[in-house]
A and B are shown apart, each in its own frame.
Chain A
Amino acid sequence: MVEEEAQIASVGVRRVDLKTKLLTAFVIATNVLGNFSMSWGMKHQTTDLGLSPLAYIRLIFTPWVLLGTTLLILWLLSRMTLLGWADLSYVLPVTSIGYVMSAVLGKVFFGELVTWQRWLGTGFIVIGIICVGLTAANTTQQEPAG
């Protein structure tokens, strides 16, 4: 393990460059706003969905769910690109700040109860993100193209 870490360090740790940071921010923003729009749309729909696929497809074309779906498609594509530039084990924890933001939005806009456990959980996630953010973004191959 120590040898492995030294090896990564010797390669110059392949520091996280600006475009990777910007794309990471874009991935987080589209995910948080997409989930929020979806949740808003789902909470304001009145029909009982059951398990019928047609009901879900109809629901996709309502304004908030459509906005959420569009944002989540952008999230999917940008995250796919990011996974080519950085490790999966880097992308997952770093983009987890989105979970915290979703909890905050849930409290502010939907009046959802955010208990002390959830705030403690938020603290753990932030610490985890800082830890992972200090490691190399890509440990498996060459620098991303571009």
Chain B
Amino acid sequence: MKWLMVGIIVGSTVLADLLQSFEMKRHTVAVEDLRPGRLVGMLRGLAQRGPLVLAVFFMAISFFAFMKLLSVADLSFSVPVTAASVALETVLARVVLKEKVTALRWAGALSVACGVALLAM
């Protein structure tokens, strides 16, 4: 059950992050939109974007799987182990989102992935 939940969390998180990053880059939110008076309008705008709605759907799946995981495993296991998505998402950011991932960033992502693996032990 524990590892099934981890698999569901990682898979749905990867899909949600790719969709969010893709869509938010297309229509960036300005600092002014974060002011209280414009927040509702901004949220309404976000809710009308298909890729974001789909991303939230995947995040909801991840959220409920995370709740289940927390009820059967330690916090200090549950949180780090779900970060297994970092390495996978960095590769997909390069391939799918065409981000320019420099050697230093690859090294950093690899170091974080190693760290997360150690935390999950």
Contact = CB atoms under 8 A, between A and B. Distances in A.
Interface string A70-90: 001000110111011101111
Given A77-B43, A146-B31, A121 B80 contact: yes
Interface of A: 1, 4-5, 7-8, 19, 35-36, 38-39, 42-43, 45, 49, 51, 53, 56, 59, 72, 76-77, 79-81, 83-85, 87-93, 96, 98-100, 102-103, 105-107, 110, 112-115, 117-118, 120-136, 139-141, 144-146
**Chain A interface mostly:** helix
Size bin of chain B's contact surface = 35 or more
A112 B109 contact: no
Contacts of A102: 75-76, 79-80
Nearest to B90: A89
Interface of B: 17-18, 20-21, 24-25, 27-34, 43, 46, 52, 56, 59, 63-64, 66-68, 70-71, 74-76, 78-80, 83, 85-86, 89-90, 93-94, 97-105, 107-121
Contacts of A132: 104-105, 108-109, 112
Contact of B63 (A72, A118, A146): A72
B118 A89 contact: no
B105 A89 contact: yes
